[in-house]
Structure 1
Amino acid sequence: MTTPDNPSAIAPYPKTSARAWLALLGASLALFCTVGFLNAFGVFQEYYTTYLHGHSSSDISWIGSLSIFLLYAGSPFGGVLVDRIGPTIPLCVGSVGLLLVLFMTSLCTQYWQLMLAQALLLGISASLVFCPPLGVVLRHMPHRRGLAMGLTIGGSSIGGIVWPIMLQQLLNKDHVSFGWTIRAVAFTMMPLLAFACLTIVEPAKKPSPTTTANATDIKTDGGEALRPAAADSLNGDGAFLKKPTYMLLCGGLALAYLGLFTPLFYISSYAIAQGQATSTAFYLLSAVNASSFSGRVVPGHLADVAGHYNLLTLFTLLSGLVGFTWTKATSLAGLIVWGVAYGFTSGAVMSLQGACAGKIAPPQHQGLAVGFLMGCLSIA
């Protein structure tokens, strides 16, 4: 019989199952269709300056800002849902809503219509697709949460590469109408969201450690052992929300998010103001997101060894430093170098935030931990 002080009593995590990898792939596709599409708003920011006559760049940016606000603000609700009833119902409802909203957006010709469809309804629908996959993936891979979050959030970076190029080709090169361009986006999302709804499922239930052996320890991802009594004390609903570490994480990231999305909205417009061609400016947004993919995966993998909070702090500082140099990039080469640097550092922040939140909460409340954090970021 093992004793609590016996290191050999620590139960190792099982190997990552095929079910977990499928859930991760589905989660990446869910973020490809939600955050990835919102990351492409820089294309709409520039296009709407001519499509919507009489509205300033500031007016137009409110469409993207409101949709991202609602995406994050609805995350606590989505997090609670995935913890209580599982991911399938929120994902299906959000996916159907997202597709319907895109078809509605394709019919819009006025500013107020786009505010209602692309901003309000799109943000609400996307929040139901955005948060549930994060909680499920964290439950599947608690021992590799940095890499898992990096690959999952990396789906939004891939979307940030694909959607701007697709929109640029259809709207500006092939001169497809705005309506059919948005419908093409919706038809592209259909099979991807269907795959996500089918593959994002909870891990298979296993016997509780307290029922298999009274003295068996539970191994946490940091390598330390958590005894059953201590584990049970963490299982109160929302108890972790009052921890100083969690509150500081939410507050610190909220300050960082005050400017984190600004380059994604304005890099195309800024490049055009510096004399770059419109087509080149749109591809800069894809370059930022391509670099962001590496920033989400590589630091996430390293954080599993070096510490998630350590690397989150480092890359938040680096992202701010790079952001302050933006106005010094005036040539095409300078814009590319700056975009790659900012994409990498900001991408690391976006992937590591979920891993840090997940470390504080017990397994059954991973959705709430990530969702509440996203809700705190919504105002910023």
Structure 2
Amino acid sequence: MLARFNKAADMLRLSQEERHRLSRPAKQILLNFSITLDNGSEKNFEGYRVIHSTVLGPSKGGIRYDTEVNIDEVKALAAWMTWKSALVGIPFGGAKGGINCDPSKLSRTELEKLTRAYTQALADTFGPHKDVPAPDLGTGPDEMGWLMDEFSLLHGKIIHAVVTGKHLYAGGSLGRVEATGRGVSIITLLALDKLKKRSTTTTVAIQGFGNVGLHTALFLWEQGVKVVAVSDVSAALFNADGIDIPDLIAYAGRNDRSIYGYYHAYPILHNELLTLPVDVLIPAARENVITAANAAAIKAGIIVEAANGPTSADADKILREKQIFVVPDILANAGGVIVSYFEWLQNVKNETWNILEVNSKLEEILEKSFREVYATARNSNDSLRDAAYLLAVKRVASAQQAPDN
């Protein structure tokens, strides 16, 4: 990601001082705290919160619970949030947080204690107009509800806008759960339209069938797109005639959220999915799955990055030489942060929007952002990724140079 920032900085002719101010986090917080486990023993945890930028508004970014969480990962993800928010015109900066833990080995009671302890440690950092967290890997509406409740208790009043991704009854927004997947599907359809391809004759392979991959697959299926391959950690499936996505979702719901053993598709190797002869490849799992080692074998004409950082920097050049139309992550998966902004705005204004309003506003922002990125790429003869970073970095740099900053 730093290489992509530096390229944008070169194009903008930013000074070394400007580069340092834009690339380095404004604040890094390392936490060390303990909770009492269900068996009565004490367990220590290490947590992080990185505020990358507040130039455009309150910092915004998720909290992840995972055994691989570390300060370098959190710093990179916080910067991603800065550029993503700037690109789609949302008045937020970037942040990220996490706790190094295995949430699958903690009880619900222990997860609540963990979340409340983390919130207590960051009570002076969080705030509706300071730093607004959200769910991420290993967290969800329950954790965000506990965070809101603990923050509210510490401040003596209910403060819904301190966090997004909450349950509806706790001040959440309609459309938030499926927002990232819906956004990916919107961007995919915009890319198909721009390249004059009919959605009803398009084939798609989706790596990842978690929240983002599942909803992306569902919304594309509803638009008549033929989803021929999907995968999760347990299995990769292929059906040349298209997979019945609602049926697969129902199957996974009965099978502990796993697609393993689904009988209306053939099992394939996980790596095979990335190189299938499809029109669109959507990596919706983890980072660095498209690298210099496999980029040359990719046959899809379009890649829509639903995951954060699925394409390594050294693979970018290969994909460009192959003239593959790559929609970068900071545009493709921005639906989540956009609807997070809608939730925050509804909380701040004490409003409730209906689902049609949420979805129409989401589509409007994504269409405008896609047009801007595409036009910039065409004008500068650059990739969509270079254009996206150029626009995002320019907006933050311009705001940072303003007199009040």
TM-score (norm 1): 0.27
TM-score (norm 2): 0.26
Bigger strand fraction: 2
